[in-house]
Amino acid sequence: MLSVAILAAGKGTRMESSLPKVLHKISGKSLLQRVIDSCVELKPDKIFVITGHKSKEVQKSIPNDKKIHVVVQEPQAGTGHAIQVLCKEVKKHEGKLLVLNGDVPLIRPSTLERLLYLHETKNADVSLITTKKTNPHGYGRVFLKGDFIERIVEEKDCNDLERENLLINAGIYCFNWGNLSEIINTLQSDNNQKEIYLTDTISLLKNSLSLEVEDNEELQGINNRIQLSECEECFQNSIKEKHMLNGVTFINKASCSISEEAEIGKDVVIEANTHIRGNTKINSHCIIGPNTFIENSNVGLNCEILNSTVYDSQIMDYIKIGPYSHIRPNSKISSHCKIGNFVEIKNSKLEDESKVNHLSYIGDSIIGRSTNIGAGTITANFDGQKKHQTKIGRNSSIGANTVFVAPINLGESVTTGAGSVITKDSKDNSLAISRTKQVNIENWKKGNPDLVN
């Protein structure tokens, strides 16, 4: 029987934030979510999340899973108090209780498995993860006696000599739950922080073991924004290294961020200041960036996207986008299209080889194959209450500065005159034009209004 308790009730004072600490994010996922995800891999029987500070906000972030139970700790009197509350709330204290601080987000399931294995094979009362840090500041120091842990002293309670100990407590423990519950209520708060420490259980239990692992980012606890930023950087570096080993070039990797779900094909070049978010797939031989943001989108083969933003859209093969384009959700740009400078496209489908090269807004539209949209063309899709569709058939040639007042439906091979406001549907092969004829006034002299009439 394996139960897990994740400590997530603290305020996180050192974060200087109105957001509870465990809801701060690393690469788009909260610290708490990352800890939950690692624990789920172990297939435990139950997961208890201890919440307290802004409990409702933290609870809302927890995924719906019948294995996950929330326990509210009120007030937040320390990590030991959190487990006292858990032991009171849950009646049966069977098997192993794995306790994790909610602010150690990069812990790997494989390391947790090693801890469980040590605990079981040595029949321990408690086993915990330790590491030697070159700068152990802020962590509890672990003191060994022979093969066992004698005690843990918190940084704030250390004397000068104790502070020199580099072996620290990572905040991840496996307890024999039955034995823990016998001593948990004897914990006191007679320390410099006036808190009930979970770490004080170690000297009260007999068989306390240390699993010392090499120092790496997975044990980094997050107590302030500097540590948050260091963890983000470590995590991003590992994502980018994975892609580089798979054949992706980063021109300036420090300035880019890539979500962990993103898939990137071979020989893709990611230029500086490019951010690939969410569930995005970039296929081979694309050049993305500089200064590009792509979220939850699919980009086909051999595309070039420069200085542009793409959300929730499908970009097929051999497409050039940018500079300065904005592809908004639910758009599909088919192969060999060109989307040019300062163009916004929303909820629209562009069929193969169509071009929207300059300064346009295309919303709620279907643009046929090989149609050219002239510079400055706008679909007026909103009548103040509803959005309407614009349909333009294939091989059409839309004059510069055309306004389509939707709903509107143009046939195939239609031409519109530059500067037209199109309000009526038109058939295949027609010219649609709506503008006043040009008048040339001869011998016009500035300042002589009589000549105008």
**What b/e sequence results for 231-262 when a residue is b if at least 16 CB atoms lie within 10 Å of its CB, and e otherwise?**
bbeebbeebbeebeeeebebeebebbbbbeeb
User: Is 104 a residue that touches ligand UD1 (CB under 6 A)?
Assistant: yes
Residue 100 buriedness (CB in 10 A; 0-12 / 13-18 / 19+): buried
Between 154 and 353, name the residue whose CB sits nearer to Mg ion.
154
Q: How far is the CB of 184 from ligand UD1 (least distance, A)?
A: 13
Q: How far is the CB of 171 from ligand UD1 (least distance, A)?
A: 3
Rounded-to-integer distance, Cα 318 and Cα 334, Å: 9
Cα 305 vs. chain centroid, distance in angstroms? 21
Between 15 and 202, name the residue whose CB sits nearer to Mg ion.
15
Q: Which residue bears the tokens 């009171």?
A: 88
**Count of other CB atoms within 10 angstroms of residue 448:** 9
Q: Select the binding partner of residue 344 from Mg ion, ligand UD1, none (C-beta < 5 to 8 A, by kind).
A: none
Contact 387, 362 (CB under 8 A): no
**Count of other CB atoms within 10 angstroms of residue 63:** 9
Helix (H) / strand (E) element for 240: namely: helix 225-245
Between 103 and 218, name the residue whose CB sits nearer to Mg ion.
103
User: Is 413 a residue that touches ligand UD1 (CB under 6 A)?
Assistant: no
Q: Which one of residues 23, 26, 152, 337 is an interface residue with ligand UD1 (CB under 6 A)? A: 152
Helix-helix angle 109-121:31-40, to 10 degrees: 50
Instruction: Select from 198, 217, 27, 208 the least CA-distant residue to 111.
Output: 217
- The percent helix, strand, coil of the chain (3-state, each to 5) is 20, 30, 45
Between 149 and 414, name the residue whose CB sits nearer to ligand UD1.
149
Q: How far is the CB of 196 from ligand UD1 (least distance, A)?
A: 8
Contact 78, 11 (CB under 8 A): no
Q: Binding residues for Mg ion, per CB under 5 A? A: 103, 221, 223
- 355-394 positions binding ligand UD1, by CB under 6 A: none
- 121-150 positions binding ligand UD1, by CB under 6 A: 139-140
User: Is 85 a residue that touches ligand UD1 (CB under 6 A)?
Assistant: no
Catalytic residue among 69, 285, 336, 358: 358
Q: How far is the CB of 69 from Mg ion (least distance, A)?
A: 23
| Catalytic annotation present for 137 | no
Rounded-to-integer distance, Cα 307 and Cα 285, Å: 18
Instruction: Select from 338, 304, 341, 344 the least CA-distant residue to 324.
Output: 341
Site string for ligand UD1, 27-56 (x = CB under 6 A): -----------------------x-x----
Q: What residue number has its CB nearest to ligand UD1?
A: 140
Between 103 and 344, name the residue whose CB sits nearer to Mg ion.
103
Between 90 and 228, name the residue whose CB sits nearer to Mg ion.
228
- 287-326 positions binding ligand UD1, by CB under 6 A: none
Q: How far is the CB of 211 from ligand UD1 (least distance, A)?
A: 14
Indicate the residue type of 65: D
User: Is 103 a residue that touches ligand UD1 (CB under 6 A)?
Assistant: yes
Q: How far is the CB of 93 from ligand UD1 (least distance, A)?
A: 19
Would you say how long the chain is, in residues? Answer: 453
Q: Given the rule CB under 6 A, which residues bind ligand UD1?
A: 7-10, 22, 50, 52, 73, 76-79, 81-82, 101-104, 139-140, 152, 154, 168-171, 197-199, 221, 223
- Active site amino acids: 358
